[in-house]
Amino acid sequence: MFCDIEHIPSRVFSCQTLTSLHLTVGANIYSTKPFPNSLNLPALTTLYLGFVVFHGGDNGRIEPFLACHRLNSLTLDYYRIMDAKTLCISNFMLVNLNMRSSYLGECFEMELSTPNLCTFEFGVTPLPKLCGSKSNLSSIKHAYIDVAMLVNDVDTPLILLSWLLEVVNIKWLTITSRTLEVP
């Protein structure tokens, strides 16, 4: 489904029987139209969100997938975080996580509480810092990392190293050449 966020009935984001959702909202990530900060979709197993803008709350954290208890596969494609410092993804069932974005602006932190995460594809610039005691990537078996190194960015290589130190049981790792480039 492709449409502007205001045209989607709010009940879609709290449907108790929906198992799969592929939603592209708008045509660019420079929009400021907010996506719902929480999805109450307890039966959802597969979620693709494209061109969404998440707005944070008072505590500087956003956790939009907390009530998606059966979520197995999550793709965030060209998303933006506004008014929040930390994106939290907490889900015991999540096995596949794919995050891509071309927005080079606001840097944020990420807290992952996903003990069964096996496959991780990441292409976000700048690379967010892992934070919180829950962020542990030791369950990941397959990872693909494609992060552009920006000029005068001294943090990204150190952040990338901290990510790699977390993937201790990895079996298959791909890091693109542009990720390894020195600007």
Which range marks the domain in which residue 75 is found? Answer: 2-180
Q: Average pLDDT in the 73-97 region?
A: 89
DSSP state for residue 156 in the 8-state scheme: H
Burial 62-72 (b: 16+ CB within 10 A, else e): bbbbbbbeebb
Q: State how far the Cα of 173 lies from the Cα of 170, in Å rounded to an integer.
A: 7
Number of domains in the chain: 1
In this prediction, residue 134 has a pLDDT band, given cuts at 50, 70 and 90, of low
Mind listing the pLDDT tens digit for each residue in 118-131? Answer: 999 988 877 788 88
pTM attached to this predicted model: 0.89
Contact between 168 and 140 (Cβ < 8 Å): no
